[in-house]
């Protein structure tokens, strides 16, 4: 089993700043997002990580994640569709406030989902695929992806329903680490943005 799975959310984009749901739209990083990615890379190439020698790296194929990965100094990462963001369907590009105007004031993505896109269960199935891959590796793995899929991945790593992801905040260019404690899946580090201070 993998000692750890390291999770990196991509750097800042225009839509992540405005709170618009960014699923499959291939939004580029802002200059600030590129700066964030470079700072994260500098951190991962210093002690105690020292560039994570021997780590297996995968990235969402969407450019905001793939560019974050490259700017952080992990060239040659393999793109993987399982790491793509939730397909928000009809809610793509909308803010939560705009969606509530359509779906009702009580709408909550983790309970009510989206129309015309993926169900939360389908996102959970993709996350399970990543968890199975990570646990089958004999070394650390590092993934670059998106806020909601990474939150669901963490929920599934811990053995919880995908809706548990609602309780896990995740900022752009953050570093999180999932590992083990007393033989059980555990969170070692979550939403760490110390490299951006």
Residue 100 assigned as binding residue: no
Residue 156 assigned as binding residue: no
- Residue 14 appears among annotated catalytic residues: no
3-state SS, the chain, equals CCCCEEEEECCCEHHHHHCCCCCCCCCCECHHHHHHHHHHHHHHCCCCCCCCCCCEEEECCCHHHHHHHHHCCCCCCEECHHHCCCCCHHHCCCCHHHHHHHHCCCCCHHHHCCCCCCCHHHHHHHHHHHHHHHHHCCCCEEEEECHHHHHHHHHHHCCCCHHHHHHCCCCCCCEEEEEEECCEEEEEEEEECHHHC
Residue 4 assigned as binding residue: no
Residue 157 assigned as binding residue: no
Residue 64 assigned as binding residue: yes
Residue 22 assigned as binding residue: yes
Catalytic residue chosen out of the listed positions 21, 56, 67, 85:
85
Which residues does the annotation place in the binding site for substrate? Answer: 22-23, 64, 85-88
Which residues does the annotation place in the binding site? Answer: 22-23, 64, 85-88
Q: Which residues are tagged catalytic?
A: 10, 85
């Amino acid at each position: 089993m993998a000692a750890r799975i390291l999770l990196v959310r991509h750097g800042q984009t225009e839509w992540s700043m405005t709170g618009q749901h960014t699923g499959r739209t291939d939004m580029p990083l802002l200059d600030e997002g590129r700066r964030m990615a470079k700072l994260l890379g500098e951190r991962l190439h210093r002690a105690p990580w020292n560039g994570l020698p021997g780590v297996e790296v995968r990235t969402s194929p969407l450019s905001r994640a793939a560019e974050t990965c490259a700017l952080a100094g992990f060239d040659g990462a393999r793109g993987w569709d399982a790491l793509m963001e939730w397909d928000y369907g009809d809610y793509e590009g909308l803010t939560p406030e705009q969606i509530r105007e359509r779906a009702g004031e009580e709408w909550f993505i983790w309970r009510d989902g989206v129309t015309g896109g993926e169900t939360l269960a389908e996102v959970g199935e993709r996350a399970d695929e990543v968890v199975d891959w990570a646990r089958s590796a004999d070394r650390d793995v590092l993934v670059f992806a998106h806020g909601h899929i990474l939150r669901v991945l963490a929920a599934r790593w811990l053995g919880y329903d995908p809706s548990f992801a609602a309780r896990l905040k995740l900022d752009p260019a953050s570093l999180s680490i999932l590992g083990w404690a007393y033989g059980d899946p555990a969170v070692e580090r979550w939403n760490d943005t110390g490299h951006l201070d």
